[in-house]
Structure 1
């Protein structure tokens, strides 16, 4: 059963994590969001209660 042999898969995992951590992640984190967060204050609105016909 070759999937129990960790030799090739461990090196693939370490290589992929190295590529993600040191190459892709800094490039991805340089992007800026197009929708910057605003400083709006949201007021809580109280929903009107329902008038049930059987109460």
Structure 2
């Protein structure tokens, strides 16, 4: 039974991993454009209150 040549699959595997790493670093390095201010937080102080106790 012949074996598959591992050379092209190795390059595909490396390319996929590099792409994932680049995408993850891009996503994780992105920051929020507008951080919430104290005025905004005080205006919506009951925003996270749930209807059940």
TM-score for the superposition, normalised by structure 1: 0.41
Between structure 1 and structure 2, the one with the greater Rg is 1
- Specify which structure has the higher proportion of helix: 2
